[in-house]
């Protein structure tokens, strides 16, 4: 949301314009796969597309709100009210082992970068989750 000529403007996506994926099994269950003239578009779901040509009007908006789109370099400011989780007195940590993260080296690298940048800080919680 932003102000334009004294009026609050908010961008919303149109859910009707978004493609809803479906599995072949789902299509067979509904009988869609047997219909004559059935078209299917297949694409990799984890693929990301980068738009290189940004229209000038959109670029002007992005430039005028560059603080909003900038990468965070520090923790957010301390606010007047801090929220906390109320713990039961004497309760210990839940005895559930953390799941293994197959790319621990990448995760460690990201955590180190965020610590150095000041976007996160070490936890002092007795309930902290150690990644492995």
Residue 121 belongs to some domain of the structure? yes
Say whether pLDDT at 113 is over 80. yes
Across the chain, mean pLDDT equals: 73
Taken as a whole, the chain contains a residue count of: 132
Percent of the chain exceeding pLDDT 70 equals: 59
Q: How far apart are CA 90 and CA 48, in angstroms?
A: 47
Residue 54 belongs to some domain of the structure? no
Residue 15 belongs to some domain of the structure? no
Residue 112 belongs to some domain of the structure? yes
Residue 104 belongs to some domain of the structure? yes
- The whole domain housing 131 covers 97-132
Residue 120 belongs to some domain of the structure? yes
Structure tokens at 127: 């309930």
Domain count, the chain: 1
Residue 86 belongs to some domain of the structure? no
pLDDT band at 51; cut points 50, 70, 90:
low
Residue 108 belongs to some domain of the structure? yes
Separation in Å, CA 122 to CA 11, 111, 114, 118: 36, 10, 10, 10
pTM, 2 dp: 0.27
């Amino acid at each position: 949301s932003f102000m334009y000529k004294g009026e609050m403007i908010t961008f919303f996506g149109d859910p009707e314009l978004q493609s809803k994926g479906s599995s072949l099994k789902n299509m067979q269950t509904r009988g869609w796969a047997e219909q004559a003239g059935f078209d299917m578009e297949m694409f990799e779901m984890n693929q990301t597309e980068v738009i290189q040509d940004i229209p000038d009007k959109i670029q002007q908006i992005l430039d005028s709100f560059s603080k909003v789109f900038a990468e965070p370099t520090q923790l957010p400011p301390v606010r007047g009210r801090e929220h906390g989780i109320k713990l039961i007195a004497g309760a210990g940590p839940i005895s559930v082992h953390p799941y293994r993260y197959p790319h621990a080296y990448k995760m460690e690298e990201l955590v180190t970068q965020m610590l150095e940048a000041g976007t996160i800080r070490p936890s002092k919680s007795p309930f902290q989750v150690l990644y492995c």
